[in-house]
Chain A
């Protein structure tokens, strides 16, 4: 008798369970793709353009007009109005009619022409960090362009020759080239990460109930009496989910690359190897959760852990900038290593050498979860002999929870 048949039987039960409950099937099979498409719609523009900008021009000079024209010409900024005083600027920003205010002070033209210190004030709504980052870069570009023109004019007015002015201005250059995402495309950064995070959550939701569900329905004993070890049970339980998870990941990659234009460099086999390892890690983690607690608590746990796992994964905030405790927790999460490996492969075209340490870390987490699950999930129940039996009634459980199957 071979355990392969037993594994096939367990897979058969699990697959039918997956397909037969409509709500669960919908959550597990449809939701990740649906949310991915929805998120793709959210980040459809891929970059933020037309940030509403209000101008307070207190100079009304040719140079202030030049600044306004510079703002108008910039695709990121969109002039939505002209304020007459600071109070109006404040009002526009408070009511979110504008996210950026550019204040040109009195005598700006005169002072700038004479080389006297003066400044243009760019007020940016800091309540939304995405707007802040983009607006800071855009206003910086406008002002730097203007400053360069001013310096040129000033040097020319002081009698320097054009060639010399050009040489002075070009003497030190500081070109910034953003590799892998030169257009600072938000979708490149976020879309796949969010989609795969949702996949992880629905996957975990399924896996985290595979044992607790059987215990509560009284069918765990069908597995306990099998003449095979827990390894065969685990394999039979997780394989259907792994196959479905890989297909869903493949569809997410396909949709992202072909329909939404996301970068997809690197080797596809490596991407699927990392994804399979990640799903295996999440599976063993789910089995561990499922073995430790009831079905309801398993679901509660996955819900509560959802957002922290994404934040702690270092995807939106670098691990290096976290508190050491938060960073340590983050390093224990499979999502952390998977998303790092995923970004390296898809955006940088990284190969095995770069990705191997991430796979190794995922393998360590898998091993730890597997060993712990062996501790919590027993094929032979050990009744509580002394202390535990006294504690159980305090927790609202019967002293002998094995009394009835």
Chain B
């Protein structure tokens, strides 16, 4: 199967600390890859390297064309002084979308993420849930082949979470790929309840890839403290 991301021997050091240690994995087209790890495990570093915004020390990182990547960050990275409509227009234009493409895509993305009533509101004044939905809307606006999501559900409401998960699954169902980083186990099980899912367990910079059932069995008797303390035994 055609891969969208292939990482081999990736090592990243920040100061004297090894953040990613010889990470190897591959994500094929049409897959949802859940990157699970607790705080400080290196999720954000890995996502930022995949997005091409952070240099790395050694290894090989192959990803699809940069213009085919959509990114949602923990901070959502929205233009807070612009309205929802203006954010979508601006980011669409910055991604090189034509006015016709924007006219076609914006209404469908707005509808999918239930942002119709917020179009004229400034992004900075929206509740967290709406900001999360807007961030995802901006990221999938140009229908990118690779969607990178970095732990966006840490704040927000259950309704927004449901909409976001549903939209992400729909994006993947179109043959696109998503790498979803999270530090919450229930979120992993929630997302894993669909086809074409793989889970990467990132512990102290070491990544192991599992199928959902295997991961569920692995996590049965392991607490976050256990993972943080004895990560090398996972």
Name A's B-contacting residues (CB within 8 A): 1-3, 5-6, 8-10, 12-13, 16-17, 20-21, 217-219, 221-227, 379-386, 389-390, 399-400, 402-405
Contacts and interface: CB of A to CB of B under 8 A. Distances in A.
A12 B55 contact: no
Contact of A405 (B48, B82, B90, B94): B48
Contact of A5 (B16, B53, B57, B97): B97
Interface in B44-78: 44-45, 48, 51-55, 57, 65-67, 69, 71, 73-78
Contacts of B82: 13, 16, 20
A227 B90 contact: no
Contacts of B189: none
Contacts of A2: 96
Contacts of A389: 14-16
A202 to B, nearest CB: 19
Contact of A9 (B14, B45, B67, B91): B91
Q: Which 9 A-B pairs have the closest CB atoms?
A: A9-B93, A389-B15, A9-B94, A1-B96, A218-B75, A227-B67, A227-B66, A224-B53, A405-B73
Q: Which of A222, A223, A225 has the most CB of B within 10 A?
A: A225
Given A381-B53, A386-B15, A405-B73, 10 more contacts: A1-B67, A9-B89, A12-B89, A218-B75, A219-B79, A221-B73, A225-B51, A381-B55, A400-B14, A404-B44
Contacts of A405: 44, 48, 73-75, 77, 150
Given A12-B90, A13-B82, A400-B15, A5 B98 contact: yes
A277 to B, nearest CB: 28
B93 A402 contact: no
B90 A221 contact: no
B28 interface: no
B13 A385 contact: yes
Given A225-B69, A405-B44, A405-B75, A9 B90 contact: yes
Contacts of A224: 51-53
B15 A225 contact: no
Contacts of B55: 380-383
B12 interface: yes
A216 to B, nearest CB: 11
A163 B183 CA distance: 109
B14 A383 contact: yes
Given A10-B94, A379-B53, A405-B44, A17 B15 contact: no
Contacts of A381: 48, 53-55
Contacts of A399: 14-15
B86 interface: yes
A6 B96 contact: yes
A226 B94 contact: yes
Contacts of A13: 79, 82, 90, 94
Contacts of A222: 77, 79, 91, 94
Contacts of B80: 217
A224 B93 CA distance: 15
A400 B65 CA distance: 28
A385 B15 contact: yes
A386 B73 contact: no
A206 B168 CA distance: 38
Contacts of B86: 12, 16
Interface in B10-49: 12-16, 44-45, 48
B129 interface: no
Contacts of B44: 403-405
A384 B53 CA distance: 14
A6 B53 contact: no
8 contacts: A6-B95, A9-B90, A221-B71, A223-B94, A224-B53, A225-B71, A227-B96, A381-B54
Contact of A380 (B16, B54, B73): B54
B73 A218 contact: yes
Contacts of A380: 52-55
A20 B81 contact: yes
Contacts of B205: none
Nearest to A8: B93
B200 interface: no
B93 A218 contact: no
Contacts of A227: 65-67, 96
A402 B48 contact: yes
B212 interface: no
Contacts of B78: 219
A384 B19 CA distance: 12
B162 to A, nearest CB: 25
Interface centre among A1, A13, A21, A399 (most CB of B within 10 A): A13
A380 B67 CA distance: 15
Nearest to B78: A219
Given A13-B90, A20-B81, A385 B57 contact: yes
A1 B142 CA distance: 12
A384 B51 contact: no
Contacts of B45: 402-403
